[in-house]
Structure 1
Amino acid sequence: MAASTSRSGGGHRHQAVFPDYMARYEPLARLGAGMNGEVFKAWDTKENRVVAVKRLSGTGTTGGDDLIFSGLQEVWRECRCLRTCDGIPSVVKLLDKVVPKVNSDDSFLVMEYAGRLNLRGYMQRRAHRHRRFSEAEVCRIMKELLEGVNSVHGTGIMHLDIRPENVILEDGTEDRTERRPKNKKGAIQDGELKDDNIVYKIGGFGISRKKEQGSKQSEVTIATAYSAPELLLHSCEYDERADTWGLGCIMADLLSGTGMPTFGPDDSEEKIMSKVFRVVDPKSKKIKNWAGYSGIAAEWKLKLPGKNKPRIAAGLKTKILGDPLRRRFPFWRLSSAGFEVLSGLLESNPAKRLTAAEALDKPWFQ
């Protein structure tokens, strides 16, 4: 089968990625790959516009990456969630879907192209240049993200994969609109990106789903350093506050200034849990007071800290030295009003965790 090809930044030809049934779209550059798909910048030859194309794996891969198989059910679920969120300015817009006649072939989602830089890349760029985010900058970014997530929750959708890689920066450069930008080095150049003018767009709806009222949700099997404690514990009694935990992690990342995940890297569920609870709930008391805790399988309860003597020492340290989260972000780095938001988002007990709407009502954003 013939296929279109893309050209990488160094002038080397990228392996064929678009099959014949995607002939309308000309691949321009590979932007990256996640657990659920591979993303390309492409040119829509019919509408004469730049778009982002996400390839979802059929039975194998054509781009050289080992991606998780995405059956038609997953494709339609992502499409439904994006369609439901259509019209929300801070959500990447779905433009088209291309589902092959043969179920084993790859499917494609075509979305608006916001830019080539995501929040992870932006944080790393700032860290490399030793430009830490001020508290005012963090407040502005968090307000925009919380407003976007709150709008998503208003439609009944839970994103469930909020992390910097799924936040795209609309940078306002010609890279977003031109097929062959005059600036050959791409969208982001020294002095070109205006921090105050960045618009943050939420994407990566690969595992999102509609909230089921009055019943348990389906289990989320993908774990990252931004997964809420209840998801790491394989609970099915979660809600939209799983997303605000992810936003709390992003806020901590922005404040730390390292460009790296606060609770990362994504080693394993156990290692992530250990890092999380060491900071937000050293003796696991908060999570155990959650009504949904009783429904967690015994094998996962045993992985929580506070089951052995070494964790007792950590508990005494907390009592003597104070809140470990506050120690990590002291008063000179984050005001009391800001810490109220951070600690409210990084609450291990989901029932006491802030929703997006509750967080936006806090004095820090007023």
Structure 2
Amino acid sequence: MIRDDDTLYAALIARDPSYEGFAYVGVKTTGIFCRLTCAARKPKRDNVVFFGSCEDAQSAGFRPCLRCKPLDRRRPTSGALDALREKLKAEPERRWTTGDLKALGYDPSTVRRAFQREYGVTFAQYARSQRLGLAVSRLQQGGSVMDAQLDSGYESGSGFREAITKLVGDAPARATGRPILTAQWLDTPIGAMLAIVSNEGVHLLEFADRTALPTEIKRLTTHVGPICFGSHAMLDELARQVARYFDGQSPGFDVPVVQRGSAFEVSVWKALRQIPAGSTRSYGEIARFIERPDAPRAVARANGANQVAIIIPCHRVIGADGSLTGYGGKLWRKKWLLEHERRMAGLVMSPSLEPRQAALAL
């Protein structure tokens, strides 16, 4: 990534998240260093100095900001979000009210915004999805409809049936024994990801704010099966490998992937998995590799149809001129992922914001 101070100062003013973990700002007048995304008042241009790491900033005598906490590996989130998420894990069957939130010292509107910003749903919707997932799991295990209804906090039988029907596409009494995909949110330094799995493998892994996510979920429920939030051994293993990836310990994944597509799409996805971490390829290079040199646009469409982000690394595909092209998870994340992988691979950074184009051979 570019390292000139003018570019970094512009990123500081814009709170550009693509530099998260790769650039920090030291404020000379306070002796404090921050993330470029820090919400604190922005200092004047003459009063800042930039660093490539927390260690460099500390060596220069700057102290970490208490607001944006640059020493934390994970990006800062609302304290309410972190605490309430843990409470939801501990009490998944609880039916939360605004009074409960106020009793814990939280402003309900603040909590709502924090969950909406991170997961795209309100706290109430997030909590309800956990309760419904628990209820469906109990129905799958042979529990009674009434027990599942009460455990999930629904006083109205009709309301419970409607909610379960929307979730799994069937009435509760008929949900028992049906194959159901399991979903869970995974937190990463660059935003929450929705993971959906089955015993066979990972069906979906996408960032929460991906525009196509609702369509992808609908496609899964139509062609594979209903989805509920809950616990699953495959989710546990996926979460472990995702954490290792973002912690810089390993760029690879060995969890099985279950993704339906045409023979052409499958060939593109297989080619994507052969691009080494730290490298990039153009659509044309992928097309030639799969022996379809006339189909770079079709490769681009297949790349965009991938719904298992990071594991099938569609972010490693760039334009023929070396420029970044569209990415459903947002372009700033694409830049972040490429930089992160280059660091894991131990490669020298390019003097440009755009990723270097690698050799043709996959």
| Interval containing the TM-score (normalised by the shorter chain) | under 0.3
TM-score scaled to structure 1, two decimals? 0.27
The structure that has the greater radius of gyration is: 2
Higher helix share: 2
TM-score scaled to structure 2, two decimals? 0.27
